[in-house]
């Protein structure tokens, strides 16, 4: 009958909505290992840095990640135009918006123990762009009217971009964007693609896991809004472990089957 046709016509569109990467389910062993690894260490502590020190560290990592991020976008059939913006507020959070804008808060540099840990946080946001999570209607609906103001603020920051490639943003723009939430599947996808980006940029993948452990240990403390947008419990770490084993076996190719 006629009414069935529109539904059939939708099927190719639904196929296009497949995720860029869907990792395997984690095993009970991976989960119990995540639980004990979280319990095995202390929560990270903030190192006090000047604005200049934090900016230099973030600019250094962003610059090194950018080419690998561009390649990841291309592998997934997208073009990403990176713009990195520094938010001087002391929270540990980063956010993706616009066509390739990444806002990084000062706390990312202060809490990360090294460039590799910082690289994972930034690469995770780049991965949200690469996997086309940012332009989704869900995100637009969530930000609503606030989007125009944030994008204007980001564009203003970028007009005065410094030679190191990191623009100075207004304090708190990263927190304004913290209203954005992605699905758990999208977060796992961003962790796996982000790990690929940081690996291709020559960063140590083991430090991505230590950053996830640090975030999990900070859970329940109030220092970071990242935990409201990026819950980091044992299941996130176990999923990460399962994805890394899977990506390793597949030779770190992106865009297979998606
Ligand atoms: Zn995320």
User: For residue 119, what are the contacts with CB-CB under 8 A and spacing of at least 6?
Assistant: 61, 64, 65, 198, 201, 203, 207, 208
Confidence category of residue 136, pLDDT binned at 50, 70, 90: low
124 Cα to the center of ligand 1, angstroms:
6
pLDDT at 153: 74
Whether residue 92 contacts residue 174, with contact meaning beta carbons closer than 8 Å, is answered with no
Identify residues whose C-beta is under 5 A from ligand 1, the ion: 187, 190
pLDDT at 134: 84
Locate the domains of the chain by residue range. Answer: 21-249
- pLDDT, tens digit, 9 for 90 and up, residues 202-230: 999 999 999 999 999 987 555 555 555 66
13 Cα to the center of ligand 1, angstroms:
25
133 Cα to the center of ligand 1, angstroms:
9
9 Cα to the center of ligand 1, angstroms:
32
Give the number of other Cβ atoms within 10 Å of residue 214's Cβ: 22
180 Cα to the center of ligand 1, angstroms:
9
190 Cα to the center of ligand 1, angstroms:
6
Whether residue 87 contacts residue 174, with contact meaning beta carbons closer than 8 Å, is answered with yes
- pLDDT, tens digit, 9 for 90 and up, residues 154-167: 777 776 665 567 88
pLDDT at 9: 42
220 Cα to the center of ligand 1, angstroms:
18
24 Cα to the center of ligand 1, angstroms:
19
Confidence category of residue 4, pLDDT binned at 50, 70, 90: very low
128 Cα to the center of ligand 1, angstroms:
7
pLDDT at 99: 82
Q: Which residue has the higher pLDDT, 170 or 73?
A: 73
């Amino acid at each position: 009958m006629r009414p069935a046709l529109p539904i059939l016509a939708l099927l190719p569109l639904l196929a296009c909505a497949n995720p860029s990467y869907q990792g395997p389910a984690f095993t009970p062993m991976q989960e119990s290992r995540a639980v004990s690894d979280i319990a095995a260490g202390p929560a990270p502590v903030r190192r006090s840095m000047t604005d200049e020190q934090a900016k230099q560290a973030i600019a250094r990592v962003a610059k090194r990640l950018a080419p690998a991020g561009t390649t990841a976008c291309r592998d997934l059939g997208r073009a990403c135009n990176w713009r990195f913006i520094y938010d001087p507020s002391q929270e540990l959070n980063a956010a993706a918006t616009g066509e390739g804008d990444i806002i990084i808060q000062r706390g990312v540099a202060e809490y990360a123990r090294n460039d590799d840990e910082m690289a994972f946080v930034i690469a995770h946001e780049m991965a949200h762009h690469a996997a086309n999570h940012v332009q989704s209607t869900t995100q637009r609906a969530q930000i609503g009217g606030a989007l125009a103001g944030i994008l204007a603020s980001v564009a203003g920051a970028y007009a005065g971009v410094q030679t190191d490639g990191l623009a100075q943003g207004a304090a708190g723009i990263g927190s304004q964007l913290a209203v954005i939430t992605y699905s758990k599947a999208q977060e796992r996808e961003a962790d796996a693609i982000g790990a690929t980006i940081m690996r291709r940029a020559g960063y140590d993948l083991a430090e991505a896991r230590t950053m996830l452990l640090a975030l999990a240990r900070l859970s329940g403390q109030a220092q970071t809004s990242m935990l409201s947008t990026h819950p980091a419990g044992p299941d996130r770490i176990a999923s990460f472990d399962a994805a890394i084993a899977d990506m390793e076996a597949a030779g770190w190719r992106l865009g297979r089957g998606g």
